Amino acid sequence: MKIYEINPFIRFATTIRLFDSREKVSSRDCRLFFVQKGNTRLVINDTQYALARDSAILFPGGTVYNFLVEDPVTLISINFDYTQKNRNISGSLSPIAAKNFQKIMILENVFFEDAEILNSPLQIDKAFGLRDKLENITSIYKKREIYYIERSSALLKDAVIDMLQSALFTSQTVLNIIEKVIKHIQTNYALNISNTDIADIVNYHPYHLNRLMIKYTGFTLHQYLLNVRLEKAKEYLLNTTYSVSVIAEKCGFYSPGHFSSTFNRVCGCSPKSFRETNRNIL
């Protein structure tokens, strides 16, 4: 599934007063919790997530979880699917004891190809921008006026994308992704690789990966790849006797003419002039 295909069906949305719940349960659909007041810990598959005021956490159906509450906590709870195909099943679906839960009970199994971070629990702290959107969803759901399903669906899609963007720009996972992309480019610069080829390595959409590259390197994917190719070309020009045609091929340019024009545009001189001027400076 791709992000653009998200068309959420909200099965239930409410504000709840949460007390201790140590029994491990699983839900048939996805869950989004937002802490309005208090602090709590949510245990998911034996990993604890500390949730404070304005924390949000999102996870897919079938996830095993339970709350550990020391003081009463007020939560927004939203039960939903990422698509509308099971909208005939409405109303709150109570979680089922984990020991009695079977995978076949999950209403929809969604795997995101361009946002893998959504395939696992996603926690966002200090998610101040989500409060109004999620409170609006609960209000719309409660009133159930005409088109409430469509309006609340649009708001939830916006909220999910907000969480995704927050995670992409703060997560250590993102740094690992950027490092992997850079290593791939530096290893495969001589090949005919496109933005899509590079993005596929980390299962991201090229648009989103471009945004990350700009944030963390200051360059788009294309610019970064081009810079690597030109730096390698300079090394060949200074340290070998390879012809311009051979260097163009070794550095991933599709023709000697393309290499020469690109080099001249970026570096301010032709490859030949660069070689003659700089070869003996060391």
* pLDDT per residue as tens digits for the range 105-114: 999 999 998 8
Q: Tell me the C-alpha distance between 175 and 253, whole Å.
A: 29
The strand pairing partners of 21, in sequence order, are 67
Res. 175: pLDDT tops 60: yes
How would residue 69 be classed by pLDDT, with cut points 50, 70 and 90? confident
* pLDDT per residue as tens digits for the range 186-234: 999 999 999 999 999 988 889 888 988 887 787 899 999 999 999 999 9
State the Cα angle at 94 between 61 and 104, rounded to 5°: 45
Structure confidence at residue 280 (pLDDT): 61
* pLDDT per residue as tens digits for the range 129-160: 899 999 999 999 999 999 999 999 999 999 99
How would residue 169 be classed by pLDDT, with cut points 50, 70 and 90? low
Structure confidence at residue 71 (pLDDT): 80
Structure confidence at residue 281 (pLDDT): 54
* pLDDT per residue as tens digits for the range 26-56: 999 999 999 999 999 999 988 999 999 999 9
> Are residues 32 and 56 in contact, defined by beta-carbon separation less than 8 angstroms?
yes
Would you say domain 3-163 falls under CATH 2.60.120.280?
A: yes
Mean pLDDT, rounded, for 239-251: 95
Structure confidence at residue 269 (pLDDT): 94
More confident residue, 102 or 165: 102
Please list the residue range(s) of the chain that carry CATH number 2.60.120.280: 3-163
Res. 171: pLDDT tops 70: no
Chain mean pLDDT for the chain: 91
DSSP characters for 76-88? EEEEEESSSTTTT
Structure confidence at residue 124 (pLDDT): 92
How would residue 92 be classed by pLDDT, with cut points 50, 70 and 90? confident
Instruction: Please give the CATH topology (third level) of the domain spanning 171-282.
Output: Arc Repressor Mutant, subunit A (1.10.10)
DSSP 3-state of 42: strand
Q: Tell me the C-alpha distance between 59 and 42, whole Å.
A: 12
Res. 20: pLDDT tops 80: no
Which token pair is 121?
């629990």
Please list the residue range(s) of the chain that carry CATH number 1.10.10.60: 171-282
State the Cα angle at 19 between 142 and 109, rounded to 5°: 60
Structure confidence at residue 115 (pLDDT): 84
The strand pairing partners of 252, in sequence order, are none
Res. 282: pLDDT tops 70: no
Structure confidence at residue 45 (pLDDT): 86
Mean pLDDT, rounded, for 238-254: 94
DSSP characters for 97-166? EGGG--GGG-S-----SS-GGGGS-EEESS-HHHHHHHHHHHHHHHH--TTHHHHHHHHHHHHHHHHHHH
